[in-house]
Structures are given as structure tokens and as C-alpha cells.
Structure 1
Amino acid sequence: MKTRSRKTITLLSAMVLGLLATFPLAEARKIQPEVALNAQGEKLLAEYTEKLETLGTEIAAGLPEVHAQKKAAFETARAELAALKAPREDDAEAVHKAYQAAKPLAESKALDSARPLIADLESFLAGDTLDSKLMKAAILRHGTPRGLAEFAQQGAEEKGLLDKLFADEALMKQILKSGGANGGEYGEAMQVYTAILEKSERAREVGSIFQRLALGTALQQPWLDENKKGSVNGVVHADHKNPDGQVARYLHYEKAHLAGELDPQFKDFNAWECRFITNDPYTNEELAWGREMLRNFRPDHITNPDQRWRYTRIVKSDVPYCSTRHDPSLGLPQQQAIALGGICGRRAFFGRFIARAFGIPSRRSTQSGHAAMNRWTPDGWVNNFGGWWSFNWCGPQGGEDFFLDSRAREHEESYMQVLRAQWIGDALGQDDVSLRNYGQGGGFWDGLAFYIKRAVVEDASLEQAAADAELAALSAEEARLLGESDEILGVDDEIKEIEIPEEDRKLVVGEDGAITVPAVACTGPKNNTEKVAFLDSWGGGMQIHYQRLGARPELLKYTVEAPAAGKYELTLNVSTVSEKYEVIARINRRAMVNTMLPYTKGSWQRTAPEIIELKEGRNTIQLTFRAPNRGVSIKDLQLKPMQ
């Protein structure tokens, strides 16, 4: 989870970003030359280098003796596992079977060989005696003496930020527990963190969600302007530049949280989880719109008890899989996305966007020929729209490595042992375990840290949910096809009966004689169907959602008592997310009126009035939509007598 060199890479686009993440470190160095050091920079480079060497010597002297035979057995088992080469797709079936049989045995042997060492070193790694030295060494190694000197040579203010960091052990520990600064850009991360603290009094409340959010934002996005961008070779890479800036993005979420607009679980996220909330390439305006749209258009997705699909199910229900096109007349990029639909990338991006809009940690998930996303749930991180963790990656980090790390983090005391083993490896200059190639490479201490995570997760008996086990059994192609469909694996789509309070079905007659008919006051259907959903509205009352999915059109039937015969203006209060299309109204089974639904971008808006004739007494109104249709939420119908 650490890098050895500091590389400043211009992030031109998501595609370029993904390509850069696969380059060897030597190749990445060629992309942009190192910043020249002035006299002060050379002096600082010498100081930081000497400090790292001194810390390494002192730490080495304080380490316990490692049992030679146990260490040899561990390294031999790891070498045997590394020697197994995954077969090519076109290799013979026998080759694949042999590999599948040998791999779990070799993995089990490596873990078993690590356990005696873990037991021997547990008391040492559980102690914090060397933490001050270890943390400084880890930051110096990750940021590199030269990288830190490049930053500090800019002036007293910049050097002061690094001095402040190295003097604050509590902050160093929180930063390293949270994954360190993206790309080793510790100075730039301190700039962002300091800027947020200057603007927000709440962010200065140490240990609060506001402080954790400020730190997570700074660590994940440690650049302040176009010329200071974090490397893609950090723990995880960022999703482009934040268009509104890190301070404005933090303040957006602070305001939204205080207004009660975010998920109730937001307040409990740690700084590492917060890294994956504010790191979004879309604007604050779009984030605010996303929350308002979902509250109006599909409030059921906000309260979905299946937290794997809370918020993100909007992609399956209302972002059709089709060719991706753009139309600026439809609004902001994410308004265009749901209005027009698109292929896997656009759907995954929208899912990540809407989850983050409500404060749920999410990250991209790249797969061969496919795009998906990962997201947090109370039961652990899960995949949406794609295959199992072994098929996906995010920048330089493979899916399996991220998934293992996320589960190990649930056990805080044991995870501190993981970190200390990694810090020792840093201090001694040992190589890291590969982020992309699960468990491969790395020196003794970083390799041991990896297997501590493996042991912690295995010992916790973390069982896969049935849906996860089913997803893990899919091939990459099967998972891709599932992601492109509107099907959700392991989800019970049984149509449930509901009760509609009489208060929500009551027709209201205004002083001007206008009759307001709640959408849920229909005489048919009287319950949820494949096409029609009765929903609790976010602001109170109820609404009907006529769904995009469903086999065939369905009628919404209403009965209205008119006090007098005559002409009335018929309007519907609707929320839509797609281009204009028609609703067909039939009055008393005779007259038909085609009303064009407005494109409301998820807000509530009345249709243009259509003049109809009602008879005195009982009248029937039937509404339907031609197939194929897009989803529409209806709050009420209004019949206003013409003067």
C-alpha cells in the first residue's frame, strides 16, 4: 500500500489515468522530469535522507529476533506460490484444472507457514514503543526524501507544514491508518487539510466526522491547483480533478450533513472511508441535484433495506443500457446520463456518483472490456454492475487486494499490527507486496503484513453472503452480461402488498373549485404490480411510480365526482428524468387526450393543462403510457373548472 518513488503525473482523462496506472514505476518516471532542487532543496534532501537512514538503523536495532527456520519456511512457501503461473485462456483444460487444484493448496501452505511467525511477533507488533520512529520512516519512505524536499524548498510555509506533520504523532497515525497521502504527496495533502481547517470550524473538532472527512479529502486529493496533482501510484488513484476544488467539496458535504441530506451512516465513517466520498469528478451542483432527484423521483431507492443496492438501484431501474450519446440541452452531465442511458461505463459512473451524493464511499471498478463499481455496506464492500473482486482493479490496486484490506480494517487492533509490519519494511527499505498481483512479491516484513491480514480475515470467519458466493461463481463474461442487464443477482423482486392510509387517498376540493386527486387514490390497480409501484413520498404522503421496467402497459384508473358538468383543465404533478413523452388520458371511456410529460430533471412540475369535459357526478379517468416507456412519478392529478 506504499510506493517508493514520487511521480507527478498529469491526469488527462480517465482512459489515460487507467493506462498510466499499469505502467512500471520506471516508465512513470519518464512521463515528467523531476523538479529541479535549489540550494535549499539539496540541503533538505540531505537532511531527509540522513533522517531516514538514522531511523532505519535505530528501528533495526529495536526489532526482535525472528526465528530463522520459521522465516525460511515462510519465504519458501511464498516462493512456491509465486512460481505458479496462471494459464492462458487458450491453454488446455488440463492445464487450467492443474492450476486450480494447485493454487489453493499453495495459498494455504503460505498462510500456514506465516502463522507461527505471526504468533511469535504478536506481542511486539501489538506494542507502540517504536511507533514514533516507524511512522516517520514510513512517511519519509512513501513521500521519498527527494519528493518531500521538492515540496519543502518552496518556502518556509511549505517546510513548516511538513515540520508540523512530523511533530504531531496523533496526526501521523491517523494519516497512515487512513492509507497515507495519495502518491506520497504529504506536503500537498497538508496544504489541502490546512485550507479546509481554516474555512471550517467544525473540521477542527478532532475525531469528529467533519475532521475525518477533511482529512480523507486531503489525503485522497492532495493537490491544490492544476500543477500539483497526485500520482496514480498511491494507495488508490483519484477520479480526475475535483471540479469545484477540495475545500468547496468538503464544505458541500458539511452543509449537506448538517441539513440531514446524507445517509444516516455517514456520521460514522472513518477517514479512510471518507477518501472515497468526496473524490468525485462531478460538480457540487450535480451532487445536490442527484439527492433532490432521487428524493422526488425514486424515494424507495433511498430507503432500500438491501444496502448493497441502496441508491445505486436507480441505475438498474432507470438508466437503460444503450449506446452512449450526449446532448447538452438536457442539462448537466449526470442529468444527461440518466436521461439518455448508456453503456456500462456511463451506468457505473452514475452509480458511483449517486452513492457518493448521499455520502456512501464508492470507487471505480475496471474490468476487462467492462466498467463496474465497488461500494461500502455495513456488511463490507460489494461490487455493483460487474464481476467478483478477482476480475476488477482500480488504478494500480487489484480488487482482491482492496477487498482483503477493507475486511482486515474492520479489526482495528489487529490492523495496527499490519501497519507496524509494513512500517518496519519501509524503515528497512524492503519492497512492497504487489497491489495488483495478489500477495506477490515484497520483502519479509511487508509479506508478513499481508498474511496477518489474511489470518485476521480467515479467523474472523467472515462468510460470504449467498449473493456474493453466487457472484463469485460467475465467469468474467457472465458477470459483464449481468452488469449490462437490469437483473440483480440474489435480490427478491417479489411484489409486496401495501396499505394506503385513507388520508393519502382523500380527494381535496379547493376554494376555486379545483379537485386534487392523489395519484394513489386510483381504483385500479389497488396494489403494487410489475409496472406500478406505490411509494411513500420523501416529503410526506404518497406517490405512484409508473416504471420503465415491466412486461406491458397498465392502466391507472380514477373515479372523480364532479360538482357540475363543464370544461376542466387537467394537469398532472409529475417527476421525470428523461426527454418528453406522452401520457394518454381517456375520459369516461370516450374522449382521449394525449398529454406531453415535461422533462423535469427529477423535480416536481405540472403538465401543461389539457381541456376535458366532465359530466355532473361520477366520472372515470384512465391513464397509461405507450411502450416502451421511461419511468415517471406522479404525485396527483388536478381538475380545475374553467371560468
Structure 2
Amino acid sequence: RPDHILTSGYGWRYDGIVRSDVRYGSQHVKYDRPELQKYQNILMNGGVCGRRALFGRFILRAFGIPTTSRPSRGHGALCHWTPNGWVVNLGPGWGSGYTITRYGNDKDFLATTKARDDSVAYLKVKRAQWVGDVKGERRIYGETGGPKNLGFWYGVSLSIQRSIINKLKKKAVNPLDAIGNDEPVTIAQRIVASPVNDGVILIPAAAYSNPKQTKEVHVMTSFRGGLQIYLPSFASQGLTIMRGGTWKDNADACTSGHCMKSGGYGKYHNWGFRVALSPDIESPDGDGTCDSGLKMVELDLGDDVTLELVYIKPGTFVMGGENTEDGRFLCVEVPKHEVQ
């Protein structure tokens, strides 16, 4: 996503991909695949606060931007460095949470980042802390919450830090969820694709019609020069037609035709062919099982191919369906009918 790398605003640079590519919601997290890395699963299935903040920190660190988690009660968020100071993404502003650092309270962490902007003066803070360590004082790095058992030298360090911040008069940057998107207007309106002379024919993305009406299809600056079109992942669709199959665990719900997905929930392993055999003699107690007590027998045919023999109580069940047209997952079926 070159648009997230080249955007002029530091607030959402790089980690803006969380808002554009990581869907919000936990309903698909159960489909995480064990063979994938956790960040791949987050991109594929999305998540809520914690997973989104985790992916945002991953992207920021990949580009060398200092960042850490900044959770609050019942919510996960992140904070990261910008030239104007540290900023919170995906959560409420400073004073609403804590950091998983030595500073604990997020305001103490923020105060340290402000004071460190004057590296020469901040050395006095560190010297006072070093003397406190030699004296065996308890290490306390912030004033929030009224620290107890504050030693003399660590008290001096906090006093010096406070005076540095007051002289710098540096204000905290508002959380970006509160001030909205700081990205510039679409680049497609300002840049014309550059020509190439290596024999490759490129269709300029700037010639793409009505880019604002295509929802998740974006026109952005290309690293090769000019513009490029970014296409999102398209909705899954059934590509393989199964005839006479059934959804697993529903032996008496046979369909005469269904379009299976090539991946995700509903793909091949959720479907199968089943052969149902009725025994000649039912068990005496009439519980609907055969004499052996088995309700299903699975035969391994090799190469990960299995054949399941499923017991169905004597009676009737429905096969086929009423679909007369092909669709995304449905296809034309034989007429719905009962089987004895």
C-alpha cells in the first residue's frame, strides 16, 4: 500500500493500513488457520481492538517507528512517535489508559517523551535517578497517582523533568480517532502516470474512471512512478460444483448440487459424499442404532480420502432442492423429492 507509506501526515502513516485492510469484528477470528503467521490471520480475518492494535504496532516497527501498546480498561490501542510528539491511535487520548512500560500510567510515559526532547537538560534527570539508585531508593518514574515512598533523589528527578516540560511548553497530540483522517486528498487528482520506455505497456491509473465510486478500489502513488490501482480481496464464490453431496454432520440433508468455496468456512473439508446403509435388524431397545451400536463408520481410502458410512433411522428424508438457477453458491438441482 504505497498510499500509506507516502502520505504526508505522520499520524496515520504506515499504520493507516489497519483502518483500510483489517476488518473490524471478531466473528471471523475462529477461522484463523494454524499454518499462517498471526499477522497473516489478522489481515485475513480481522479482529477488534487488541488484534488491530497489534497489527498496527507490527507495521510501525517494520518501518522503524517507535511504538508501544497503550490499552485502557476493556480496550486495546497503540501509541507511536511523530515529529510533533507521541500520539494515540485506535483509542481515547492521553490519561485514559496505561502503557506496558516502566512508567505504567500513560501520562507518566508521555511526560518522559516530552522531557527527552531536550536531551541536554534531560541528562540532569538521569543523574538524579542514578544517585537515587546508589542510595537504594525505590525507582519511581512518574508523578501520577501520588507515588508513595518517593526518595529524595527520585523526587529531584521528577521535579527537574517537570521544569523541562514547562519550559518547552509542548502540548500533547490529540488522539487521531478524535480528529479524523489526516491524509491528503486523493493523489489520483494531482499526479499523472509517468511514461516508461522498456517495452512494457502501462495503462495509467489516472485514466481510471470515477475512482471515488468504486468503494474499496484505490488509486495511489506507485513506487515505479505515476499511479497504481489497488484491488482489495474479492468476496469468495463457489467454483466447484458437487453433485449428490451433503454438509458434514447432516446425513439426512442431502443436496443434488452445490457450489463449494475454494477456501475459508464452507470449503472442501466441510462437505463430502456419504453412503448411507440401513441394517436389516435394528437394536431391540429401539434407540435407532444398529446392533453394533455404531452410528458412523469412516473408511480411510488413502491420500487423505475417506468414505463415511452413516446410519440413518428407517423412514424417509428429502433429497434434491428447488433451485432452478445457478448462483454464487447454489446451482440447478433436481426436483425436491422424498426417499424411502
Q: If the length of structure 1 is used for normalisation, what is the TM-score? A: 0.33
**Contact 2:71 2:77 (8 Å CA) reproduced:** yes
User: Equivalent residues in 2 for 1:327-406 (5 A)?
Assistant: 327-328=32-33, 331-395=36-100, 397-406=104-113
Aligned to 2:114: 407
Q: Distance in 2 between matches of 1:389 and 1:502?
A: 42
Q: What letter corresponds to residue 539 of structure 1 in structure 2?
A: R
2:135 is equivalent to residue 428 of structure 1: yes
Aligned to 1:534: 219
Q: Distance in 1 between matches of 2:16 and 2:151?
A: 43
**Contact 1:400 1:438 (8 Å CA) reproduced:** no
How far apart are residue 431 of structure 1 and its match?
2.7
Deviation digits for residues 314-368 of structure 1 (CA, Å, limit 9, x no counterpart): 1111111101334227732101101111010000000000000111111111210
How far apart are residue 598 of structure 1 and its match?
10
Q: Distance in 1 between matches of 2:32 and 2:75?
A: 24
Quickly say closer, same or farther: Cα 1:503–1:376, change in 2 above 3 A: closer
Give the total of aligned pairs.
235
Q: What letter corresponds to residue 537 of structure 1 in structure 2?
A: S
Percent identity among equivalent residues? Answer: 36
- Which of 154, 163, 181 is residue 491 of structure 1 equivalent to? 181
Q: Distance in 2 between matches of 1:373 and 1:409?
A: 20
Quickly say closer, same or farther: Cα 1:347–1:304, change in 2 above 3 A: same
Aligned to 1:443: 151
Q: What letter corresponds to residue 447 of structure 1 in structure 2?
A: G
Q: Distance in 2 between matches of 1:459 and 1:319?
A: 41
Deviation digits for residues 395-439 of structure 1 (CA, Å, limit 9, x no counterpart): 352211111111111111111111111112222222333659455
Tell me the secondary structure at the aligned position of residue 70 of structure 2. strand
Aligned to 1:305: 8
User: Equivalent residues in 2 for 1:86-485 (5 A)?
Assistant: 298-323=1-26, 324-328=29-33, 331-395=36-100, 397-433=104-140, 437-438=144-145, 440-441=147-148, 442-465=150-173, 468=174, 471=175
Deviation digits for residues 89-139 of structure 1 (CA, Å, limit 9, x no counterpart): xxxxxxxxxxxxxxxxxxxxxxxxxxxxxxxxxxxxxxxxxxxxxxxxxxx
Tell me the secondary structure at the aligned position of residue 57 of structure 2. helix
Tell me the secondary structure at the aligned position of residue 6 of structure 2. coil
Q: Distance in 2 between matches of 1:529 and 1:492?
A: 21
Q: What letter corresponds to residue 489 of structure 1 in structure 2?
A: I
Q: Distance in 1 between matches of 2:119 and 2:137?
A: 24
Quickly say closer, same or farther: Cα 1:443–1:327, change in 2 above 3 A: same
Aligned to 2:319: none
Unaligned ranges ≥5, structure 1 = 1-297, 472-481, 547-575, 583-595, 600-625, 627-643
Q: Which has the higher contact order (CA 8 A, sep 6+)?
A: 1
Q: Distance in 2 between matches of 1:331 and 1:316?
A: 22
How far apart are residue 489 of structure 1 and its match?
2.4
Q: Distance in 1 between matches of 2:191 and 2:35?
A: 35
Q: Which structure has the bigger radius of gyration? A: 2
Unaligned ranges ≥5, structure 2 = 238-260, 265-327, 329-340
- Supply the RMSD in Å over aligned alpha carbons: 3.5
Higher helix proportion (structure 1 or 2): 1
Q: Distance in 1 between matches of 2:206 and 2:213?
A: 13
Aligned to 1:128: none
Q: If the length of structure 2 is used for normalisation, what is the TM-score? A: 0.60
Q: Distance in 2 between matches of 1:462 and 1:530?
A: 42
Q: Distance in 2 between matches of 1:319 and 1:519?
A: 24
Q: Distance in 1 between matches of 2:127 and 2:5?
A: 40
